[in-house]
């Protein structure tokens, strides 16, 4: 994992502020009757206008796979991550809708920018109380992790804090096959950051200048996942409702600084 310089972190923070504002604007669009592609098109418009580039659109897991086709990952209900935004997918009352978005910024001719990554899960109209509670627990798990992060702790400690909190809240599935990650120079960097305690990462110690994306992924059922027939969407194998929240943060001398906060986020109420 690369240590970022103060100047690099400054630029990542600038990009993070922009993508936080973009996600806030997109969240306001998540209402019954709107297509996920409309939200996607607005996302690309806002990112481009800000001097950035969508980092997910065109992303390839390897040389032989087709590139990811949209700016946002638009995942619905039992879809966890990597959902493709489509014109025919219309948000309905009672849906649970996750937006995962990444950006490279600034993008200059012949130059490269810095990457940030953030996600939110929203309810569309009215949902069951247990779904509201799932979203609260998942979002709070991210905040617990953020409060845990500081120089000298291990990556395993982050996952341990998330796991301990989620288990204290009831019976939930903590997804094990998808993880957070380093970020900044690339969309995905080392280390992998699980949402559970992994003793193999106990020797990976956080240092000032590291930049990571933490992203709790929790379900109302089990933790097993599968890939949908579109080849991209990762969904819950048992069809359970799931939630996903994410922030990019930098490790600083006395703790960490969240790069991708949405405007007014700390004052937001889930319900």
pLDDT tens, position by position, 188-201: 999 999 999 999 99
Instruction: Say which residues have a Cβ less than 8 Å from residue 200's Cβ, sequence separation at least 6.
Output: 156
Which residue reads 């690369």 in tokens?
A: 2
Residues 6+ apart with CB under 8 A from 150: 206, 251, 254, 255, 256
pLDDT at 267 over 80: no
pTM, to two decimals: 0.96
146 and 214 in contact (C-beta within 8 Å)?
yes
Domain locations in the chain? 6-267
Beta bridge partners of 99: 74, 120
* pLDDT class of 112 with cuts at 50, 70, 90: confident
Whole-number pLDDT of residue 184: 97
The fold for domain 6-267 equals Creatine Amidinohydrolase (3.90.230)
Instruction: Dump pLDDT digits (tens) for 138-148.
Output: 999 999 999 99
Instruction: Mark out the alpha helices in the chain (DSSP H runs).
Output: 6-29, 36-49, 129-148, 155-168
Rounded (10°) angle between helices 155-168 and 129-148: 150
**Residue 124 exposure: Cα atoms within 13 Å on the Cβ side:** 22
């Amino acid at each position: 994992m690369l240590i970022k310089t103060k100047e690099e972190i400054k630029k990542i923070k600038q990009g993070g502020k922009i993508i936080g504002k973009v996600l806030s604007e997109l969240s306001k669009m998540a209402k019954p009757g709107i297509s996920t592609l409309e939200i996607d098109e607005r996302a690309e418009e806002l990112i481009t206008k800000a001097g950035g580039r969508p980092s997910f659109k065109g992303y390839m897991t390897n040389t032989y796979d087709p590139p990811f086709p949209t700016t946002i990952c638009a995942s619905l209900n039992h879809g966890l991550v990597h959902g493709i935004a489509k014109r025919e997918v219309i948000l309905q009352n009672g849906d649970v809708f996750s937006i995962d978005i990444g950006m490279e910024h600034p993008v200059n001719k012949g130059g490269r920018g810095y990457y940030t990554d953030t996600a939110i899960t929203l309810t569309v109209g009215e949902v069951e109380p247990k779904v509201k509670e799932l979203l609260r627990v998942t979002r709070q798990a991210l905040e617990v992790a953020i409060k845990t992060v500081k120089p000298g702790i291990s990556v395993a400690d982050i996952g341990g804090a998330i796991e301990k909190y989620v288990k204290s809240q009831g019976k939930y599935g903590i997804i094990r096959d998808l993880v957070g990650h380093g970020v900044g120079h690339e969309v995905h960097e080392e280390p992998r950051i699980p949402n559970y305690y992994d003793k193999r990462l106990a020797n990976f110690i956080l240092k000032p200048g590291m930049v990571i994306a933490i992203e709790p992924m929790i379900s109302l059922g089990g933790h097993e996942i599968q890939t949908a027939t579109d080849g991209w969407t990762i969904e819950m194998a048992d069809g359970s409702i799931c939630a996903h929240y994410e922030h990019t943060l930098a490790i600083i001398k006395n703790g960490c600084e969240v790069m991708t906060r949405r405007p007014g986020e700390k004052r937001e109420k889930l319900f």
